Amino acid sequence: MTTAVDLITDAAFAAQVIGQDQTLSSGDAQLILRRLNRMLDSASNEKQMIFLNDSETFNTVAGQQAYSTSLLTGGRPVSINSMRMTLNGIDYPVEQIDQLKWNAIPVKDIDAIPTWFYYDGAMPNATMFFYPRPYAVFTVEIYCQRVLSSPLVLASTITMPPGYEAWIVAALAVDIWGSFKKGDPPASMLKAMVDAKSVIKRTNFQPLEMAVPFSPSPGDVSNGFPYPYW
C-alpha cells in the first residue's frame, strides 16, 4: 500500500528532478499528479496492464432492451469479458456481438430469453442492448475489466499487486523527463520502464484459443440465425 504522493516523489527522484532529502513544490507535484492520472488512464486501454477483473449484477425489466452502465456500482467498465443471466435458478450465457451484427438484426423488439448483447462503449456511460429483449426479470452478472485506478489526488492511498509500483515509478519518471530535463531520458531509465512493464504483461497474459470461423451460405439456418449478414 502506498500513496500517490509517494509514487510522484519517487518518480521525481528517479528522473533526477529532486534529491533524496528534497520535496516537490506544490505546482510541480500537481503537474506530475496530472501526468500520473493520464498515464494510468492510458494504460487501462491495454488489456494486459489491467489487473482489476470485476463482476457486478443488476436486474432487467421485462420488455426493456437498453441498460446504462450507470446501473453498475463501479460505473462504466473498460470492456465486458462475459455475461450471463439467471432466472429461476437457471443460468443463460449471453454472447457479445459487434455493431455490424447488431445492425443486421432486422426486428429487435422481440421478447424472449436474451442470447446476444451489444455494448456501445459510449462515454461517460455506455449502454448494453439485449436481443431478444428480456421477457422477465433476469439477474444479469457481468465480468468486466476496469481502469487501474480512479483519478488520484496527492493523498490517495493505492493498493496494487506486486510489480505495479515499480512500473508506475519507472514509467512516470520517463514521462516527466521532458518537462524538467533536456534531451532524451537515459537508456537505464528506459530499460527499467520496459522491464517492469514486461513483468506485469507476462503475469497477466492469457493465451487465446484459435477457432475456425464458420461462414454459412445465404439462407442457411443451421447455425440458428437465418440472416446472411453473419
DSSP element (H, E) containing 198: helix 187-204
Is it the case that residue 84 has pLDDT exceeding 90?
A: yes
For residue 124, say if its preceding peptide bond is cis, omega within 30 degrees of 0.
Answer: yes
Instruction: State whether 27 and 79 are in the same domain.
Output: no
Question: Is the residue at 213 inside a domain?
Answer: no
Q: What is the CATH number of the domain that holds 175?
A: 1.10.3230.20
pLDDT at 229: 45
Share of the chain above pLDDT 70, in %: 83
* pLDDT at residue number 214: 52
Q: Are residues 40 and 57 in the same domain?
A: no
Task: Give tens-digit pLDDT for 39-82.
Answer: 888 877 776 566 566 788 999 999 999 999 999 887 888 789 89
Q: Say if residue 102 is in the same domain as residue 141.
A: yes
pLDDT in tens, 106-131: 999 999 999 999 999 898 899 999 99
The larger pLDDT score, comparing residue 224 to residue 148, is at 148
219 within a domain of the structure (yes/no): no
Q: Is residue 22 part of a domain?
A: yes
The string of pLDDT tens digits covering residues 139-183 is 999 998 776 666 788 988 877 777 888 999 999 999 999 999 999
Do both 117 and 195 map to the same domain?
A: no
> In the beta sheet, which residues pair with residue 60?
none
Domain tally, the chain: 2
Is there a single domain that holds both residue 35 and residue 60? Answer: no
Q: Does residue 216 fall inside a structural domain?
A: no
- The DSSP line for 72-89 is STT-S-SEEEEEEEEETT
Residues 164 and 138 in one domain: no
- Please report, as a single letter, which amino acid is at residue 112: A
Domain ranges, residue 184: 2-48+149-203
Check whether residue 155 and residue 173 sit in a common domain: yes
Q: Are residues 59 and 140 in the same domain?
A: yes
Q: What is the DSSP string of 145-182?
A: E--S-SPP-TT-EE---TTHHHHHHHHHHHHHHHHHSS
Q: Using a pLDDT cut of 90, give the percent of the chain over it.
A: 57
